[in-house]
Every structure is written in C-alpha cells, then in structure tokens.
Amino acid sequence: MQGLGELEAAVMNVLWDAGEPLKVRDVLERLDTGKQLAYTTVMTVLDNLHRKQWVERERIGKAYVYEAAFGREDASAQALRDVLDSSQDPHAVLLRFVESVSDEETDLLRAALRKKRIRRR
C-alpha cells in the first residue's frame, strides 16, 4: 500500500481482516510478520496510523480500540489514483495498465465504465 511501511501495511491487514475494533494486544496477537514485536512497537504503529488517518480509535476504559477508517478496496483505489496523479503521463500509465489486465479484469473495467456512463446521464 502506497504511503505505508511494511509493518503499517501488516497492521492494516489485521484490522481489515478483523472486521471489528481491536485493542493493541489483539493486533499484536494476530500479526504474523515473522518477527517478535513489542507491544509498544504495535502501539506506536497504531498511533502513527491514527495520525495519518488510516485508523480510527475510541477509548474504552483505559485502552483504545482501533479500526480501519476505510476499506481495503478504498485504499487500493486511492493508491491507483495517487499513481495517476503523480505521473507526468497518466494516459501512458493507464494504457500500460490496460495492456496488463486479464480478460476477466477487462470485462470488469468495461462494466464499471458503462455503469459510470449511465450514472452521469
């Protein structure tokens, strides 16, 4: 995910997969990074993600619970948008992307474009 470090992306995946607010300890227990992580490390990552507006948090008792501020698909779509916005030639990027998609993905793109065209009328 663009704009996130490896550990931040792993934490986001835990939150998206959970589908419910989690405490720091819950996130730590579900993380599978292949490394032993400290509670404070995960707490810092969640705090950073909150500051970056990737997660929302609510205090329950003495602890915060965290949940994703938006869905995985929204994050992926925004990453694609960021690539286009940062490109000097977004037309070329889109053409290269279209050349790389499968037949099934082509059908999905066509259906989405038809849907968008209908909504604009």
Domains of the chain, residue spans? 6-68, 72-120
Task: Give CATH for domain 6-68.
Answer: 1.10.10.10
Q: Model-level pTM?
A: 0.79
CA-angle at 93, arms to 4 and 55, nearest 5°: 20
CA 53 to CA 113: how far, in whole Å? Answer: 30
Number of Cβ within 10 Å of residue 49's Cβ equals 22
In this predicted structure, the answer to whether residue 2 has a pLDDT above a threshold of 80 is: no
Tokens 């990552």 sit on residue: 45
What confidence tier does 116 reach under pLDDT thresholds 50, 70, 90?
confident
